[in-house]
């Protein structure tokens, strides 16, 4: 024992002296922010009610690692803006009708809410959605890989605060420019494939296994539902005995307490793939442990639409 310790010490001393005398001392440099972005590694953080992220990204495949260090559930959605429109247009013409509309829904005045949403500008309906993460619980990290075309984006989260106001109105909207130069990232290799289609719902040939899983999501079509956006995929773990109806109710922002803090108890939101257009493909990663899971869209009445599938891991 003592002898082997002595040999180890000697070996260390020799290597230390050799390195000191050598010109080629190994240095471990941490990559710069730009190097990481070139590799498609995009770190996003929320500590309060903001997106801490670089304001210029490279195009092509990008992995968004979204650390939710706040006390509320959030998501990341990448809105690809029409030519000439920016965050200023959103704040002037999009946020106000949504703010008034939501206030009217909470007051129980649906007619005035519909009238408010009627003030949304025509161009709002030509915004394209280029993916992002699914809903993610406090303290969790969502990892989603999406393909970004060059252009101007708004990164947004439209979950609602406890007072019913949109997170977008509280700062969760950030303009991001995606440049022409692509990242060096290739599409990930998936362990499971999920298809989503408005007529057939969410379909998975084989449920994922335990441990780290990379899920590929294929958007075979897309449509605008009654809540003004399309379908997406959220992976949620749930405790035995909880009501999935309470989850479905919460996932409809058109309900006064829907998509509003607090999120229903007994559910852990583990990310997913946010809205993509028809033919779009995205990937998300999750670490799966034994338990009950549901893949569900953030749309009104998801189960009726088939945008809902449960599985169990043992």
Query: Could you list the residues that contact Cu ion (CB under 5 A)?
Result: 74, 157, 159, 167, 172
Residue 74 or 174: the one with the smaller Cβ distance to Cu ion is 74
For residues 74 and 231, which CB has a smaller minimum distance to Cu ion in the complex? Answer: 74
Minimum distance, C-beta of residue 67 to Cu ion, in the bound complex (Å): 13
Smallest gap, in angstroms, from Cβ of residue 313 to Cu ion? Answer: 28
Shortest Cβ 238–Cu ion spacing (Å): 21
Which residues are within 8 A (CB) of 211 and not within 5 positions of it... i.e. 6 or more apart?
Answer: 287, 288
What CA–CA distance (Å, rounded) separates 232 from 84? 27
Q: How many CB atoms lie within 10 A of CB 88?
A: 9
- Closest distance to Cu ion from the beta carbon of 246 (Å): 20
Give the CA distances from residue 64 to residues 32, 191, 218, in Å, rounded to whole numbers and listed in that order.
Answer: 17, 19, 18
Collapsed DSSP state (helix, strand, coil) of residue 187: coil
Min dist CB 253 to Cu ion, Å, is: 12
Residue with smaller CB distance to Cu ion, 128 or 261: 261
Q: Are 250 and 312 in contact (CB under 8 A)?
A: no
Q: Which of 259, 270, 303 is nearest to 168 (CA)?
A: 259
* Cα dihedral 286/201/302/131 (nearest 10): 50
* Site of tokens 């919460």: 250
| The two three-digit tokens of residue 199, written as one number | 């007529």
Q: Compare residues 174 and 231 and give the one whose CB is closer to Cu ion.
A: 174
Beta bridge partners of 285: 143, 214
**Minimum distance, C-beta of residue 48 to Cu ion, in the bound complex (Å):** 10
Q: Tell me if 116 sits within 8 A of 97, measured CB to CB.
A: yes
Query: CB-wise, 37 or 235, nearer to Cu ion?
Result: 235
The distance of closest approach from Cβ of residue 181 to Cu ion in the complex, given in angstroms and rounded to an integer, is: 30
Of the two residues 74 and 85, which places its CB atom closer to Cu ion in the complex? 74
Q: Which is nearer to Cu ion, 157 or 276 (CB)?
A: 157
Of the candidates 73, 81, 281, 106, the one whose C-alpha atom is nearest the C-alpha of residue 187 is 281
| Nearest distance from C-beta of residue 298 to Cu ion, angstroms | 12
Helix axes of 110-117 and 95-107: crossing angle, nearest 10 degrees: 170
The single residue listed with the structure tokens 């590929």 is: 216
Residue 5 or 162: which CB sits closer to Cu ion? 162
């Amino acid at each position: 024992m003592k002898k082997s310790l002595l040999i180890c010490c000697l070996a260390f001393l020799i290597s230390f002296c050799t390195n000191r005398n050598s010109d080629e001392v190994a240095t471990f440099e941490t990559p710069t922010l730009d190097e990481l972005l070139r590799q498609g590694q995009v770190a996003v953080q929320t500590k309060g009610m903001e997106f801490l992220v670089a304001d210029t990204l490279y195009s092509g495949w990008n992995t968004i690692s979204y650390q939710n260090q706040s006390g509320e559930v959030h998501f990341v959605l990448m809105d690809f803006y029409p030519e000439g429109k920016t965050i200023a247009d959103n704040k002037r013409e999009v946020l106000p009708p949504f703010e008034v509309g939501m206030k009217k829904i909470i007051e129980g005045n649906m007619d005035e809410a519909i009238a408010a949403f009627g003030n949304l500008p025509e161009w709002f309906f030509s915004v394209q959605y280029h993916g992002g993460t699914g809903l993610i619980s406090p303290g969790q990290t969502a990892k989603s890989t999406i393909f970004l075309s060059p252009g101007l984006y708004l990164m947004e989260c439209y979950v609602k605060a406890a007072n019913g106001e949109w997170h977008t109105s509280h700062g969760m909207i950030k303009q991001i420019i995606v440049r022409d130069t692509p990242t060096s990232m290739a599409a990930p290799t998936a362990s499971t494939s999920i298809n989503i289609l408005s007529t057939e719902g969410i379909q998975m040939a084989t449920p994922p296994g335990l441990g780290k899983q990379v899920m590929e999501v294929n958007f075979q079509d897309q449509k605008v539902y009654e809540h003004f956006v399309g379908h997406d995929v959220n992976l949620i773990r749930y405790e035995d005995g909880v009501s999935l109806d309470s989850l479905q109710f919460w996932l409809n922002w058109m309900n006064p307490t829907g998509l509003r803090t607090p999120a229903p108890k007994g559910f852990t939101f583990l990310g997913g793939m946010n809205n993509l257009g028809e033919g779009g493909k995205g990937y998300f990663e999750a670490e799966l442990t034994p338990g009950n899971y549901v893949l569900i869209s953030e749309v009104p009445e998801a189960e009726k639409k088939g945008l809902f599938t449960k599985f169990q891991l043992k």
